[in-house]
Structure 1
């Protein structure tokens, strides 16, 4: 019996995450623009690239600091709720088995895919299920990194109410730097992801309407 290779709930949470992440990123950058220096006042971090540089206005949302904070905190709960719905389905449905990176299964394919994408290998890697090894590696990296975005966000939102969490993350200022660093990493992944989709538009159809396998137990 045929079944969607991209289940409806995965597709729904994927597109919801796209919208919510864009809102969170835009409002977060507007908050950063109000004080673009990272580190304690007078002891700014020297290791931060582009220290003191305000993000371009067209990438920001909220208009001003208070407006951006309203946007950011209003949509933070929806962002987390969407992630929890996805995670619950991800685990309960067994989707993790075909989406997460397992070195024994995926390492060789990931390496061959990388060489092929860099034009260092002529032959394309063979079929490897729903995702190739490199895609699974990136997918797993995002899932492993995303919780840090939420934890640092909580430390910034409630540093007094959550002092242990804030201390665990190195204090308010380091948590702020980590929060921005994770945002930059996820934004970079998003750019690469969009480029890959543009190169392989069939995947956009798959994630929008759901492509069906030819038969149960066939390509996944």
Structure 2
């Protein structure tokens, strides 16, 4: 244990979190691009997505990609959810979420004064991660309702009908895409956050706390 404490690096992203992150990234890209191809077959609004941003080539191919990526996302999401609850990952990193802390961090972010420390989520990040998890649940539920509207008619009714479920699905998807865009922008601004998501480790500083139980995983 003494040798571990003297290591120049520390674990900030355990292996289960890293694996789930990259599987989710792949699944979300496939789902969004195939979903845009499906959207183009029957647009909700007055625009289409460019062909280069779509996946599947045609409606049938896009549906095949979409369903395959959906099951990958659902299975991976359930495993991540189980790990997050049982290992305390959610409690340690996403809570507490206090309004006063959020207002402070938003103000700091807007004035480019928001500090970043690897392995520690500020309140803005906590809110974003909680929001995208909820959007993930919403996009899957609405997606199932428009995929099997007869078999899952009760779920369709919860959304207020098939047409509304389609719009909810689109808005939830747009929210996830917005999260990904902000996430990538932050990686570009603070590129040092990328390597720890690959290796799990970050340099140890004197102010770092001792590794918690999750970091030992």
- The bucket for the TM-score relative to the shorter chain is 0.7 to 0.9
- Deviation for aligned residue 1:111: 2.4
Residue 216 (structure 1) aligned to one of 195, 198, 211: 211
1:33-69 Cα offsets, whole Å, 9 max, x none, are 01103xxxxxxxxxxxxx2211111111011111111
Residue 118 (structure 1) aligned to one of 110, 116, 138: 110
Greater CA deviation, 127-136 or 177-186? 127-136
Distance of 1:194 and 1:185 partners within structure 2: 14
Q: Which residue of 2 aligns with 1:76?
A: 70
* Root mean square deviation of aligned Cα: 2.1
Distance of 1:116 and 1:128 partners within structure 2: 17
Name the structure, 1 or 2, with higher relative contact order (CA <8 Å, separation 6+): 2
CA contact (8 A) 1:98 1:130 kept: no
* Ranges in structure 2 where 5+ consecutive residues have no aligned partner: 5-9
The answer as to 2:189 corresponding to 1:199 is yes
Q: Secondary structure at the match of 1:103?
A: coil
Q: How many residues align?
A: 201
Q: Which residue of 2 aligns with 1:188?
A: 178
1:157-205 Cα offsets, whole Å, 9 max, x none, are 1111111011111111110110010000110111011000111111111
Q: Which residue of 1 aligns with 2:27?
A: 20
CA gap of 1:125–1:100, structure 2 versus 1, over 3 A, is same
Distance of 1:64 and 1:182 partners within structure 2: 23
Alignment of 1:141-160 (within 5 A): 141-160=131-150
CA gap of 1:124–1:143, structure 2 versus 1, over 3 A, is closer
Distance of 2:117 and 2:35 partners within structure 1: 40
CA contact (8 A) 2:30 2:55 kept: yes
Residue 34 (structure 1) aligned to one of 32, 36, 41: 41
Distance of 1:109 and 1:88 partners within structure 2: 28
